[in-house]
Structure formats: structure tokens, C-alpha cells
Amino acid sequence: MKEQTISKATIDRLPLYYRCLRLAQDDGMDIISSEELGRRLELTPEQIRKDLALFGQFGKKGVGYYVNELKFNVGKILGLDNHWNIAIVGIGHLGVALANYQNFIALGFNLVALFDNDPSIIGKTVNHVRVRSIDDLPKVAAKLKIDIGVIAVPAQFAQSVADRLIKAKIKGIWNFAPIKMKVPDDVKIVNEDLSVGLSRLSYYITGK
């Protein structure tokens, strides 16, 4: 129901609200106004109030939002309280960087498995997690109840990795390969194409 009634633009803003509230919490703030949230995120206070109102009544008129409470509620809306189990496939430079990303735990994600097909990498440990053979994916996914698979392999291997994740009944994919993936409707995928971001930045600084 939520996906049918809430716009993608609103959903895309929710993680920004959560991050901003985390930073406000780190700064020791107890209360934050929609105006201050808007200033930090370069959004209008009206947009923020409109977005949050779609999910319930938050904050107190004339006072603002209680930071801890709103952070908790936005996190719950995002499903971060589910403590999803994550596996990374492809332990090259990008895979290692992702495996060492410290905010996984802060966001409620658990890095439980790493996979590769290179015998020289299999058996090594990254961030206290042992790298396993990709062939072990089905049994490990079932045993560790992996929810999200992260694809950090070259583009030519990405679809086959996605197929393996899907076959292992993993329903969420975070894809860093620069290709359009074919997945069933019941599998949710988010694509992060680093080359697109860099190319966009190149356009902006070219000054055309």
C-alpha cells in the first residue's frame, strides 16, 4: 500500500531526513524545527511538513520536532528497525571499501557475508567477515538469512551474480555495476552508477 500512495520523490527524501536527524542527534540537539531541517537540506519547511504528514502526526506546533523521536519514527518508516542482513559479492577495491563502511551498523544493517570467485581472495577476512566462494551463496544465504545482496563486480558478470542472488531467494539488490539489470517484479533493486555521478559533475564544472 505504501508504495502505491507515497511518491518516489517523497521516499527519496526520507533517507535525507534520517541522516540530518542523526547529525542533529550527534550535535546534542533535542528539538529541531522544520525551518532548520529545511535550511540544512535546502528544502522548504512546507515540503518537509507535507512529507512527514503522509506518515502520521509528528512534532508539536510552535515547538518543532523532538529529534530522537522523529529519527526513530523515520527509521521505522524506512524499515531500518528490521536489522537487514547484507552480503557483498565481489571483493575487489569497491567491495572491500563497502565491507569497511562503518555506517552499516549505525543504520541498522548487518554485514554477514562476503563472496568472490577468486581463489586468492576466498578465505581472507575483511572487517571480521570471511570471504566465501560464490558457489556457497545458496546455503549461506539460507543459513544466515541474507536479505540484501550488494553487487560489486565488473559489468560483464553483474547479471549472472544477480541471477544467483535471486535463485538464493534474496529479495533486495544494491547494484554498483553500470548496467540495467533484469530482475523479477518481487525483487527490489537500487542502482548506483558511479560513472553517471562523475559525468554529471564533469558537466557542471565544465562551465557550459
> Is 64 known to sit in a ligand binding site?
no
Measured distance CA(86)–CA(171) in Å, rounded:
11
> Is 128 known to sit in a ligand binding site?
no
Mean pLDDT, the chain, integer: 91
Q: Are residues 99 and 179 both part of a single domain?
A: yes
Domain boundary among 80, 113, 142: 80
Report the domain count for the chain: 2
Report the predicted TM-score, pTM, of the whole model to 2 decimal places. Answer: 0.82
> Is 28 known to sit in a ligand binding site?
no
pLDDT value, residue 184: 93
Under DSSP, is residue 80 helix (H, G, I), strand (E, B) or coil?
helix
Measured distance CA(166)–CA(170) in Å, rounded:
5
Tell me which H or E stretch contains 167: helix 155-167
Q: Note whether residue 30 is domain-resident.
A: yes
Chain centre to alpha carbon of residue 107: 9
> Is 108 known to sit in a ligand binding site?
no
CATH number at residue 29: 1.10.10.10
Please give the average pLDDT of every successive group of 10 residues along the chain, which has 208 residues: 69 93 93 94 94 89 90 92 94 95 86 97 96 97 97 96 96 93 93 82 78
Measured distance CA(157)–CA(33) in Å, rounded:
47
> Is 59 known to sit in a ligand binding site?
no
Domain boundary among 28, 46, 80: 80
CATH number at residue 156: 3.40.50.720
pLDDT value, residue 68: 94
Domain boundary among 62, 80, 98: 80
> Which residue segment(s) compose the domain that 137 sits in?
83-197
